[in-house]
Amino acid sequence: MNFLTHNNTATYADGQPELLNDLTRKLFFAAGMIAIVLGIFAFTFSTKGLATMSALFAVYTLFLAVLDMVLFTKSHALRGSFLVSALLSFVMGMTMLFRQDVTNEFLGLIFGFWVLFNAISILSQVWTPELLSNWYRFAGIAIGFIGILMGMYLTIFPDVASNTQSIVLGVFADLLGIYYLLVALFSAKKSATEK
């Protein structure tokens, strides 16, 4: 890919701004690390613990909405995907944060939708060559499909045992973190001759 610089902003030869720069890589890395920590927490808490943790997941979801909006401003090919992902993350995060009564009442369903939305977001964005390529893309696709299965399980069976909810949520949060870390660490970088 050929890169040009204009006003200190890297762009492709066709005028499209560079999707991943140092800031977005750091945001992806932070998103990955936070997701892994949340996944570990989810393994250790019961349903009541998950209900109290929903505020942490809400704040994290709002952070993902900000990340998607940053990518929306930089992307041409997947603007719609990033915008929809940002809007879904924003609505889900606000609901989990300010409607704790709904979250506590429908905990399995809320987290099922959270898993499902994030998995669909991964699958819609993994096709961007700048995010992931080669076998990393296949890892992203696998994480997306596994997430869809997990999200469907929680939404179809929202009253499963608390241990099962914790395991499903924890596994997916860790997979989500791995996906974001793959993007942050292994996405295509500009070479010195392209800068």
Q: Which two tokens stand for residue 194?
A: 């392209």
Mean pLDDT value across the chain: 78
Chain-centre distance of CA 114, in angstroms?
A: 10
* Percent of the chain clearing pLDDT 70 (strictly above): 78
127: helix, strand or coil: coil
Give the mean model confidence (pLDDT) for residues 166-187.
88
Q: What is the pLDDT of residue 171?
A: 92
Q: Which two tokens stand for residue 133?
A: 């390529």
CA dist., res. 176 & res. 182, Å (int): 10
For 59, what's the count of Cα atoms within 13 Å in the CB-facing half-sphere? 6
Residue 11 pLDDT grade (very low, low, confident, very high; cuts 50, 70, 90): very low
CA dist., res. 43 & res. 6, Å (int): 47
Residue 12: its H or E element: strand 9-12
Answer whether residue 116 shows pLDDT above 60.
yes
Beta strands 3-6 and 9-12, pairing class: antiparallel
Q: Which amino acid is at 68?
A: D
Q: What is the pLDDT of residues 57-87, one digit of tens each?
A: 889 989 989 988 888 877 666 677 778 888 8
Q: Residue 16: how many CB atoms within 10 A of its CB? A: 14
